[in-house]
Structure 1
Amino acid sequence: MVEFQNENSFEIKEKMNQSQIVILPIGAVEAHGPHLPLGTDNFLAERLSQKLAERVKAFVLPTLPYGQVWSLRNFPGSINVSNNSLISFLVDIGESLYKQGFRTFAMVNGHLGNQTALKEAARVLYESCPEMRVFYFFYPGMNKAAAEVRENSSTHNTYFHACEIETSYMLYLAPEFVDMDKALTDIPNIPMHADSTPTPWEEFTETAVLGDASLATKEKGEYIIETALENMVKIIEAFKVEGL
């Protein structure tokens, strides 16, 4: 693993000749209940990226710390960036990396709300950087792994937030930022229309916690995170074998 920002321009070229894989951690600043920090998604994306980089011998870029948090934008501390802004930023970064000679660009996302922008940016880069493979990862394979270890049923079929699962991630990847004494249980009734029309989360939660955070453990987080890591490595390595 090479921390990109710690390098200097006199030595970076030789290291780039040894690896053409670069990873961008992407997070967000938003409410995560009383037991997790506003930067939870940043810590998760950054530390997951570092683990991935160690396994595929990649560069890790500085974390992109702001994301699309429309659903939680009205909670204290949340900072929202539009999808359009995020897409433009990611395309600019990707095209710059392409010109530098990188041929695998993996965006490691710590915040579900970013995923639409990442996918759209990857599609733009598919056209503008035809020789670069772009990935947008969000814990691939986590649903099956989470179902195997969780003690409480999921509040929503897609969302997980500051709950048993995400808190477990933090206990594994960034435990120093978790205060389990403040972990609470909030199992909101998420209305069906939330999947079909814009619905700010304050309509169904006052805490931004979607589940029972008190059930979180480091062991659960490790199992799910390591599953996701194995899947990311397999995907990247598969394309390396094919010469892409």
Structure 2
Amino acid sequence: MYLADHTWPELGDALSDGSVALVPLGSTEQHGPHLPLATDHLIAEGLATAAAERSDAFRTPTINVGVSPHHRQFPGTMWVDPPEFRDYVESFARNLAYHGIDRVVFVNAHGGNVQHLREVGRRLHEDEVAYAVEWMWDESIPELVDELFERNGPHAGPKETAMITHIAPDLVREDRLEDARDGGLVDLESAETMVHGARTFYDSIDNSANGAFGDPTDVTPEKSERLFEAAADQLVQLAEWIGERDGDELFPESRVEREAANR
């Protein structure tokens, strides 16, 4: 169910303690010469939509701009600073909890958001406001990603190209796939930006001139559908798992309560 399509009387009847929200989050940033800036938030929204249709979870509106200053040299990239991003997402989740949705999955498709979403989840957990976890789609199916693509990449590579091929094929510039591969960084191990164990770079452009990593030419519609469906299935199972937990299982037990139980 997409929460924003419904009226408040309809939601008043539907929402209750224990409801699960799927919050899609991504970015608006460069994804090489072949994918749109919307790539990450389109992936997050597509997966959250599919999972909400296949479970009892509610999908919320999408948070389209994330923490992306490392792509700032590429025209059109947008970002917010980490403190403001964390505060906004935390406030967003507290709003959901006010309406009885105290279980949240941050359906994330942007690596730059990960550590900040985990911090937000920790804050909410400590305050016992909501149980919120960050979920990164490709981390739910790493074996399949490795199986499908020989030369993968963390950004604008075959896995993201495959997801957009499935979700919004008209937005893939198929005539630029080879450009993305040849003008980007196909093999991460060949990068010269790790020196004596230290990462000497801060921005994407320091590793890839066109912002692409991996070989996006290794994508087919069949691989794309398989990847999307596998990730969507993992999200459905996660939403169902969280929804089935008792509140006592999700929120922290105090030290005093733990010691009393062990006496």
TM-score (normalised: structure 1): 0.89
**Counterpart residue number, 1:175:** 169
Matched, 1:68 2:67: yes
User: In the alignment, which residue of structure 1 is the partner of 2:210?
Assistant: 207
Q: Deviations over 1:97-116 (max 9, x none)?
A: 11111122111011111111
Q: Does 1:221 align with 2:219?
A: no
Superimposed CA distance per residue, residues 131-174 of structure 1 (whole angstroms, 9 cap, x where no aligned partner): x3212110142321111111x3335xxxx111111101111122
Give the unaligned 5+ runs of structure 1.
none
Segment drifting more, 25-34 vs 3-12 = 3-12
- Flag structure 2 segments of 5+ consecutive residues without an equivalent: 248-263
Instruction: Tell me, yes or no, if structure 1 residue 11 matches structure 2 residue 10.
Output: yes
Per-residue deviation, 1:55: 1.9
Deviates more, 1:180-189 or 1:77-86: 180-189
**Matched residues, number:** 237
Answering whether residue 85 of structure 2 is matched by residue 86 of structure 1, we say: yes
- Counting only pairs closer than 5 Å after superposition, residues 19-168 of structure 1 correspond to structure 2 as 20-130=19-129, 132-139=130-137, 140-150=139-149, 152-155=150-153, 160-168=154-162
User: Which amino acid is the alignment partner of residue 217 of structure 2?
Assistant: S
Specify the code of the residue in structure 1 equivalent to 2:135: F
- Distance in 1 (CA, whole Å) between partners of 2:172 and 2:208 is 21
C-alpha deviation, 1:45, in angstroms? 0.8
1:192 to 161, 176, 194: 194
SS in 2 for 1:227: helix
**2:258 corresponds to which residue?**
none
Distance 1:93 1:78 in 2: 23
The answer on whether the counterparts of 2:20 and 2:243 sit within 8 Å (CA) in structure 1 is no
Conserved? CA contact 1:19–1:58, under 8 Å = no
- The residue type equivalent to 1:223 in the other structure is R
TM-score, with length taken from structure 2? 0.83
**In the alignment, is the contact (CA less than 8 A) between 2:124 and 2:132 conserved in 1?**
yes
Cα separation, 1, equivalents of 2:163 and 2:199 = 29
Inter-partner Cα distance in structure 2 for 1:15 and 1:213: 42
After TM superposition, the structure 1 stretch with the greater mean CA deviation from structure 2, 91-100 or 188-197, is: 188-197
Identity %: 27
Letter in 1 for 2:166: Y
Give the C-alpha shift of residue 18 in structure 1: 9.6
By how many angstroms is 1:7 displaced?
2.0
Q: Does the Cα contact within 8 Å between 2:106 and 2:134 map onto a contact in 1? A: yes
Contact 2:57–2:239 (8 Å) recurs in 1: no
> Which whole-Å CA distance do the structure 2 matches of 1:78 and 1:46 have between them?
19
Q: Deviations over 1:199-244 (max 9, x none)?
A: 2121121111102212222222222232222222223322333324
Match for 1:169: what amino acid? M
- SS at structure 2 position matched to 1:74: coil
Higher mean Cα deviation, 3-12 or 119-128? 3-12
